[in-house]
Structure 1
Amino acid sequence: MIRVVVVDDDPLVTESLKTILEVSAEIQVVGTGNSASEAVTLYLQERPDVLLTDIRMGENTGIEAAKEIFRQVPEAVILLLTTFSDDEYIREALQIGVKGYLIKQDLASIVPSIKAVYNGQSVFGTEIVGKLASILTDQTPRKQSKIHLSEREESILLAVANGKNNKEIAHELFLSEGTVRNNISQLLEKLEVRDRTQLAIFYYQKYQ
C-alpha cells in the first residue's frame, strides 16, 4: 500500500484528488491539508511514501514546503501538482530534488505518477517534458560536466534521464539489475549528486 499525503489550498481540489487516488486499491491517502505549513506538518507526522502538493498556496509555496521537508528528511519523495508550467518553478523543483512535476489538468497521469515515484522513478507531465531540455541547458554547466564517462555509463545515464527504472535499463542494455544498480551508485558518487533526478539534470546539461 502506497501511503500518500495530499495538499492543495483549495479544499475542494484536495478532496477531489483524494477521491481520484483512492480509486486505486494500491493507494491510501493518510492525510490532507491546504497550506505549505500543513504540508510540512503532515509529512513529518505521517511520514507518507509520497507527498503530493500544489505549488502556489498563499504566502508560501509547495517548493518552500519541499525545501523544509528535504532539510529534515532528505530521502522524502515529493510530487508537485500545479496549474502553472512556469520554467523557473520547474528548474527550482528539479534542483531541490522533487520526483515529479505535473499539470493538474492531466488527471489521468496522477495515479500512475504516484506509483512511478514510489518505485524510484522521476515523472513529468507531457507539457513539462517538452520544456526540460531548454530549461536545464539554460543553467550554468556544473563542474561535473568535465568528468569523463564510459560508454556504458553514458547509456545508463540516458536511460535514467528518460525515466526508466533499473529493470527496464537492464533489459534494454542486456545487463543484470545488480549491474545497473551498481553503475548508478557509481554515477551518483562520480558526479557528486544525490538521486536519479539530479542524474537527469546532469544529462540534459552535458548532452543536450
Structure 2
Amino acid sequence: MKKKVILVDDDQLVMMSLKTILECSGNIEVLETGTDGEDAIKLYKKHKPDVVLMDIQMKNKSGLSAAEEIIKEDSSAKILLLTTFQDDEYIVKALNIGAKGYILKQDFESIEPALLAVAGGQTVFGGQVMSRIPELIEKKGEKQGEIYNKNGINDKEMEIIEQVAQGKNNKEISDTLCLSEGTIRNYLSIILEKLELRDRTQLAIFYWKNM
C-alpha cells in the first residue's frame, strides 16, 4: 500500500521535482502540496497523512513552527523535516518538538527511504546529522553545568525549569515530580530569584535560549 504524504516547500521547483521523483517510485502518493507552515497545518488537518515532508525555512511560518503546532494537536503526527542547513539549533529544536526525522536535501537518494522508515514508525536522521547528535548532547550538558555553577541551580531546580519550559502548570509538574504544588511554588520563587527573572514565561524563554 502506498504511503500518503503531504509535501510542503516554498521552492516550487524543488517541490515539484520531489513530487515527481517520489511518485515515480510507486511507494508514495503525494496527496497535496503547500508552500509554507500554515499550508502544512491546514493540509495535515484535512488529510491526516502518513508523513508530512516539510522544509524547515519557509516564508510566513517556518517548518519547525508548523511541526510544533501539528504535534501539539496530534502527538501521533509523523513529520520529516528537510533542509539545506546542518544547523545545531535546528537539530536540537527538531529533537525537542518530536519530529520523526531531519535530513539534508543534499541527501537526495535518502529522502524516499527516510519517508518510508518514518511512515513505519522509525525516527530517521541523515548520516551527517546523526554524527552531530552526541556532540550536541555533550554541549547541552556542558551548558547546563555552566548555568548550575553561575546561578547556584541544583538538580531538582533544573528538573523544574525543564518542566516549565515544556509548558506544564504547577499541578502537572507536581504530578510528574511527586512533589506538592506548594513545594513547586516555593521552588519556582527561589529559581526566579536566583536567575533574576520575573515570571515563568521569562523562565521558559531563558531555558530555550541558554540550555
Alignment partner of 1:26 is 2:20: no
Determine the C-alpha separation between the residues in 2 that align with 1:129 and 1:70: 22
Cα RMSD (Å):
1.9
Structure 1 outlier segments of 4+, above 4 Å: 140-143
Q: Which has the higher contact order (CA 8 A, sep 6+)?
A: 1
SS at match of 2:95: helix
Q: For residues 132 and 23 of structure 1, what CA distance do their matches in structure 2 show?
A: 33
Over residues 167-200 of structure 1, what are the superposed CA-to-partner deviations in whole Å (9 max), with x where a residue is unaligned? xxxxxxxxxxxxxxxxxxxxxxxxxxxxxxxxxx
Which letter maps to 1:70?
Answer: I
TM-score, normalising length from structure 2? 0.65
Q: Which has the larger radius of gyration?
A: 2
Q: Within 1, Cα distance between the matches of 2:25 and 2:137?
A: 34
Structure 1 length-normalised TM: 0.66
2:206 match: none
Matching residue of 2:37? 36
Q: Structure 2: which 5+ residue stretches go unaligned?
A: 145-154, 157-211
Amino acid at match of 2:134: A
Share of identical aligned residues, percent? 48
The equivalent of 1:160 in structure 2 is none
SS, match of residue 134 in structure 2: helix
Question: CA separation in 1, counterparts of 2:124 and 2:72?
Answer: 22
Partner SS, residue 53 of structure 2:
strand
Post-superposition shift, 1:118? 0.9
Match of 2:114 in 1: 113
Give 1:77's aligned amino acid: K
Alpha-carbon offset, residue 3 of structure 1? 0.2
| Residue of structure 1 equivalent to 2:103 | 102
Q: Residues 119-168 of structure 1, C-alpha deviation per residue, up to 9 Å, x if partnerless?
A: 1111111210110111123224798xxxxxxxxxxxxxxxxxxxxxxxxx
- Does 2:79 correspond to 1:78? yes
Aligned to 1:130: 131
Please state how far the C-alpha of 1:62 moved relative to its aligned partner.
Answer: 0.3
Distance in structure 1 (CA, Å) of the matches to 2:103 and 2:57: 13
Cα deviations across residues 17-76 of structure 1 (Å, max 9, x unaligned)? Answer: 101111221210001010110011111111100000000002321010001101111100
Matches of 2:138 and 2:6 in 1, distance apart?
33
For this pair of structures, how many residues does the alignment match? Answer: 145
Per-residue CA shift, 1:93-136, capped at 9, x if unaligned? 00110011010011100000011111111111121011011112
